[in-house]
Amino acid sequence: LVWCRPAPHGQEASIDLVELPRLGLTFLVKPDPAAGGALRLWSTAHEGCFVASPDAHPPRLRRLTQGVPHGVLLQNAQGDLATLAPAVLPIRPHSSSPPPNFPCINPRDGLHTALLFHRCVDAGYTLTASGTHHVLYPIHLSSTFLFTPTAVSALYLALLRLLHRQYKAACRLVPSCAPDAATLSEAEEKVLAHFNVAADDCHPDAHAFRLKLTLTLMRGVHAKFPWSIAEELDGYVRKVSSVSAACRITRQEELELAAAVPRRELARLPALSARLTLLRSVERGSPEFALVYPARPDPSADAFDEVVDRTCVEPLEQSVWGAVTACLVTYIRPQERKGVGAATDVIKWLANGLKLSGGKDNLGFLFFYELLTGTLDIRVLESDDPFELAAMLIRMLPPRDRQSLSLMASVLRCFAINPHLAREESVPKVSPPDPEAEKE
């Protein structure tokens, strides 16, 4: 809200006061004697501080406040600086191809760092219900780091750093996130729960940060984390060679975290279990240790090529044409496509599920038969062979179809294993539809 006093007739009114009711902030427009009477916005909540221009300060200061895009810079008469930010929880927009004006760490990988701030109290995106309207971060004289006066302000800043992909800065804030009381405050619980907006960040340093924060809070209070300790520890172990030195945790910390994970969860994570076995052996000073490898699945139990089906070469008890006619009723011939269009179709068919009886896309037996015998031309690359596409897709049929001993499965299996038979001129072909007949 912008307020002004009534101006005399014929004169322009000047702005006298700026009020931000939801943040509990008010700024007065007054001259600054130290700046030759220049008008500035003076804060009433933080006496002696006015809104400063970040352009008048060194570039390292702009880099420091880069992860707090919704903050403003305050300055006092002594030149001390601070960042004032609304206590509004951020949202990272999901975008595989962010607009050009989105700030990015690396334009090639599209990892944007743009944040949106939802200011609706009822939606739960602010901390005002917990009595926290805004946070003030004093800036060190060196302009290299921010002071965090409270645990909730440190936790909130760590969230902003994580979303801005400043992982090392986020890890440096973790010790300051330790709460002063035996339990988390309402505001601290709210900020901690909001870390789930970065749950899709699988960067090695992101795993390390979440583990560091887990350790710090776990040692002081009972907290409910919006992530699985076992999965974060497993992600860290798998990517430990790529974790920055400033973000790594020690061997003892890994074991301490593992102690908080139930045994049944460790059992389903073989890489993590092997890592913990190694660490325990090192701690004991033992030169030998035993690794337990997960049992390998039996490839022959569900393999297409292990099934021997001679149904198509043995005397038939039913008419071949009866089975083919049943397929014709449900078969919808797909459009012949190449390149990206063909790849898009294949992805869609696999997502919907392939079946000999037709499935969601109404393909079925005749679809595979046409690809194998060359009457349906679908290929991703110009050099591709539709036969090879069919041979691959047949092996992705559900187990019930690819392992059943039936006439249709036997024909497809026979052609897929014997390409020369599928290419024989005498093999019956499915006649492609006549465009002129379709128009009539």
On the question of pLDDT at 106 being above 50, the answer is no
CA nearest neighbour of 314 among 414, 391, 425:
414
On the question of pLDDT at 299 being above 70, the answer is no
The per-residue pLDDT for range 138-174, each reduced to its tens digit, is: 888 887 888 998 898 999 999 999 998 899 999 999 9
Angle between helices 270-284 and 229-238 (to 10 degrees): 80
C-alpha dihedral (144, 150, 154, 156), degrees to nearest 10:
-130
Q: What is the pLDDT of residue 252?
A: 93
Q: What is the pLDDT of residue 177?
A: 92
On the question of pLDDT at 107 being above 50, the answer is no
The per-residue pLDDT for range 195-214, each reduced to its tens digit, is: 988 888 899 999 999 999 99
Q: What is the pLDDT of residue 75?
A: 85
Within 8 A by CB and 6+ apart from 6, the residues are 13
On the question of pLDDT at 127 being above 70, the answer is no
Q: What is the pLDDT of residue 208?
A: 96
Average pLDDT, the chain: 82
Are 40 and 30 in contact by the 8 Å Cβ rule? The answer is yes
Q: Which residue has the tokens 């619980």?
A: 189
pTM of the model as a whole? 0.65
On the question of pLDDT at 318 being above 80, the answer is no
On the question of pLDDT at 123 being above 80, the answer is no
Look at the alpha carbons of 346, 347, 348, 349 in this order and tell me if their dihedral is positive or negative: positive
